[in-house]
Structure 1
Amino acid sequence: MKRIAVMGLGKVGTLAAELLVDAGFEVTGFDAVPREARFETRVLDLSDEAGLTGALSDQDAVLSCLPFSLNQALAKAAHGAGIHYFDLTEDVPTTKAIIELSKTSKGLMAPQCGLAPGFVGIVGADLISRFDDCRLCKMRVGALPQHPTGLMGYSFNWSPEGVVNEYLNDCEVLEDGQLKSVSAMEWIEKITIGGIEFEAFTTSGGLGTMCETYLGRVPNMDYKTMRYPGHVDLMNFFFHELLMRDRRKEAGEILVNAKPPVAEDVVYVHVAAEGTKDGRLGREEFVRAYKPMEIAGERRTAIAWTTASSVVAVIEMVRDGNLPGQGFLKQEDIPLDRFFDTVGGERYASGGRI
């Protein structure tokens, strides 16, 4: 795997492409509009399936940094070309479609390689493995402004389409040994990290494939998004009482206009597992607060570098033979120590300590 196409050159896509160049890949970036970068770029209608097929004809792999709604078509094009496929999606139907493609793929199909799903699943699986018998695993992530203002306490540093999707779609959980589907923006709890209080609530897609993997092994598992207190009540009012759930595109436009991205963001990660080891009950935790950092000569937001570093670490591991080269890749099958040994993974390992 030498030549890789990166589809979508926003902040995350551009940074991922730059990190791939630094890792020794030959990168071609594709976007709907002209972009200048230190790697080759081309303009492409990313919704044109025939154009996607042609763009992948001379590539060994493709990384999608596109909105989740475009990923199924790109995955099909990668499958047809017989090349590796990676993406960052949190969309459950998209992942299920990719799982089906992986059954006949010549290359590796690896969706959900970002932060959540992605890195948190790698950490969760590692914590679970430390117990003889694990009774629960809880994964929490919050991508937030460091200096929140207003009642919502939020800024849309991530794709508004993705945020709306995860706020409205049902969520998979394991509860008392049963695989269940529950509503988003429910099961509200309080979390405190470094003296700062958060509320956490269910959102869709953050667990990836973990519920299926650990069904019958870990009776209780769920994923929640963390926000500053008061956020979830406002979002429930906006989507459900004002019926904006029926106007998703417009909802995203309204929210981004009200709460645009900020440069000074922070990504909180709180993963915990409980169980018994040698007959003793215990709890293992991984808690971090990742902030912006300078990478490749530019200051990068926390959400951009955590997402890009995670997927590039996985791509490096596949190239170097540390992960399978065919079929479907589950994030929970990625060894955390090997992940930390990569350049991108080392940023996660060394930074963010509370």
Structure 2
Amino acid sequence: MTNVAVIGLGKVGSLVGTLLSDLFTVTGLDQKLPYTELPFSVETGSVSDATFLESFLQSKDAVVSCLPYNLNLPVAKAAHKLGIHYFDLTEDVPTTSAIREMAETSKGVMAPQCGLAPGFIGIIGADLYNRFTKLRDVELRVGALPRYPNGLMGYSFTWSPAGVINEYINDAEVIHNGIRKMVPSLDGTEMINIEGQEFEAFSTSGGLGTMCETLEGKVDTLNYKTMRYPGHAKLMRFLLYELILKEKRELVEEILTQAKPPVREDVVYVYAVVEGWKGTEIAREEFYQAYHPITINGKEWRAISWTTAASVAAVVEMVAAGTLPQKGFIKQEEIGFEHFLNTKNGSLYKKAQQK
């Protein structure tokens, strides 16, 4: 792998390209030139133009799509047609299902869901549950939040509002009482107290990726929940269901983007719990870490930006190094945590955990 394309140069995409440009020849693509200078070449164009897109990708070995979930499929189809590796950050289940079908006949890797959740949290979860001989519960939690919240919602849109609304509206897959099923998002609210800070956590769509399929028949309880400051879920249920704005997604996105712009000081909480048996002894394993903004190449990046970008960049590295399969669909839970941390970009997580 030598030439890598990064499509979608927003907050995350710009950093993905920056991180990968230390290892590969990177070419970025967006509808318009970015506001700041980037350490790789950039072209302009639209992914809706299939002829242009295929021409752009013709000389590339891999492509990373950092576009909103609803724009990923054209890129995946072009990558599949050209036989190059494909990576994205989507949490959208139908998009992933379509990409998985393509992977059955792909000449390269098809690896969606390489972000934070799904993505990094699945790698953490698998690292924990692989320590057990028999499983009972696997519970995964992630929260991308303002460090200093204000207002009733206690939130700031530091990543795609479209993605947030999508995972709040679509049903979530879980395993409950040993049965794989779908449950409504924004339901199942629980309280979590970490070092005196109280959070609520509730079901959202897509965070588990393919893990329900992987652990079906092996676990009594498996679920993913998004962490927020208390009261958030109630307000979102009011907005989406009592006001029936779930049928006007673009309007909701516009309202929330204007009302809750991104903050500079954010924090990403990652929390995972696994219970089961090690031999004849019942046991519990936990992982918890709070990630804060860091400086990369002299520029400060929000926690949500670098954790997401470093996750997908590390997976690209592992495919390039031959640590992961060279074609077909890659499940996040198949990625070894230690191998992940030992990549150049995965080591950003390791450094943050040591502080």
> TM-score category by the smaller chain?
over 0.9
For structure 1, list consecutive stretches of 5 or more residues without a partner in the other structure. Answer: none
Find the counterpart in structure 2 of residue 116 from structure 1: 117
The amino acid across from 2:147 in the alignment is Q
1:46 Cα shift?
2.4
1:353 Cα shift?
6.6
SS of structure 2 residue aligned to 1:135:
strand
Matched, 1:15 2:15: yes
Matched, 1:288 2:303: no
The CA distance in 1 between the partners of 2:320 and 2:75, in whole Å, is 21
1:352 Cα shift?
4.4
SS of structure 1 residue aligned to 2:346:
helix
1:216 Cα shift?
0.9
Q: Are the counterparts in 2 of residues 132 and 276 from structure 1 also a CA contact under 8 Å?
A: yes
The CA distance in 2 between the partners of 1:257 and 1:312, in whole Å, is 30
User: Runs in 1 of length 4+ with deviation above 4 angstroms?
Assistant: none
Find the counterpart in structure 2 of residue 53 from structure 1: 54
The CA distance in 1 between the partners of 2:70 and 2:49, in whole Å, is 13
SS of structure 2 residue aligned to 1:351:
helix
The CA distance in 2 between the partners of 1:297 and 1:46, in whole Å, is 31
Question: TM-score when scaled to structure 2?
Answer: 0.98
Find the counterpart in structure 1 of residue 142 from structure 2: 141
Map of 1:216-295 to 2, 5 A cutoff?
A: 216-295=217-296
Matched, 1:88 2:89: yes
Q: Are the counterparts in 2 of residues 140 and 270 from structure 1 also a CA contact under 8 Å?
A: yes
Count of residue pairs the alignment pairs up:
353
Q: Over residues 280-302 of structure 1, what are the superposed CA-to-partner deviations in whole Å (9 max), with x where a residue is unaligned?
A: 11110110000000011100000
1:190 Cα shift?
0.4
Q: RMSD of the TM alignment (CA)?
A: 1.0
Q: Over residues 195-240 of structure 1, what are the superposed CA-to-partner deviations in whole Å (9 max), with x where a residue is unaligned?
A: 1100000000000000011101122100000000011000000000
The CA distance in 2 between the partners of 1:195 and 1:48, in whole Å, is 51
Find the counterpart in structure 1 of residue 39 from structure 2: 38
Find the counterpart in structure 1 of residue 5 from structure 2: 5
Find the counterpart in structure 1 of residue 27 from structure 2: 28
1:345 Cα shift?
1.6
Identity of counterpart residues, as a percentage? 56
1:337 Cα shift?
0.8
Q: 1:241 to 1:137 in 2, by over 3 A?
A: same
1:34 Cα shift?
1.5
Map of 1:123-138 to 2, 5 A cutoff?
A: 123-138=124-139
The amino acid across from 1:292 in the alignment is P
The CA distance in 2 between the partners of 1:153 and 1:353, in whole Å, is 28
Map of 1:158-177 to 2, 5 A cutoff?
A: 158-177=159-178
Q: Over residues 183-203 of structure 1, what are the superposed CA-to-partner deviations in whole Å (9 max), with x where a residue is unaligned?
A: 000000001122110000000
The amino acid across from 2:159 in the alignment is W
Q: Are the counterparts in 1 of residues 47 and 74 from structure 2 also a CA contact under 8 Å?
A: no
SS of structure 1 residue aligned to 2:164:
helix
Find the counterpart in structure 1 of residue 350 from structure 2: 349
Find the counterpart in structure 2 of residue 69 from structure 1: 70
SS of structure 2 residue aligned to 1:30:
strand
Question: TM-score when scaled to structure 1?
Answer: 0.98
1:350 Cα shift?
3.3
SS of structure 2 residue aligned to 1:343:
coil
The CA distance in 2 between the partners of 1:241 and 1:259, in whole Å, is 21
The CA distance in 2 between the partners of 1:52 and 1:89, in whole Å, is 19
Q: Are the counterparts in 2 of residues 87 and 113 from structure 1 also a CA contact under 8 Å?
A: yes
1:349 Cα shift?
2.5
For structure 2, list consecutive stretches of 5 or more residues without a partner in the other structure. Answer: none
Map of 1:150-161 to 2, 5 A cutoff?
A: 150-161=151-162
Q: Are the counterparts in 2 of residues 289 and 353 from structure 1 also a CA contact under 8 Å?
A: no
The CA distance in 2 between the partners of 1:116 and 1:228, in whole Å, is 18
The amino acid across from 2:175 in the alignment is L
The CA distance in 2 between the partners of 1:242 and 1:136, in whole Å, is 36
Find the counterpart in structure 2 of residue 180 from structure 1: 181
1:50 Cα shift?
2.0
The CA distance in 1 between the partners of 2:89 and 2:56, in whole Å, is 20
The CA distance in 2 between the partners of 1:303 and 1:315, in whole Å, is 19
Find the counterpart in structure 2 of residue 206 from structure 1: 207
Q: Over residues 302-341 of structure 1, what are the superposed CA-to-partner deviations in whole Å (9 max), with x where a residue is unaligned?
A: 0000000000000001101100010000000001110111
SS of structure 1 residue aligned to 2:222:
strand
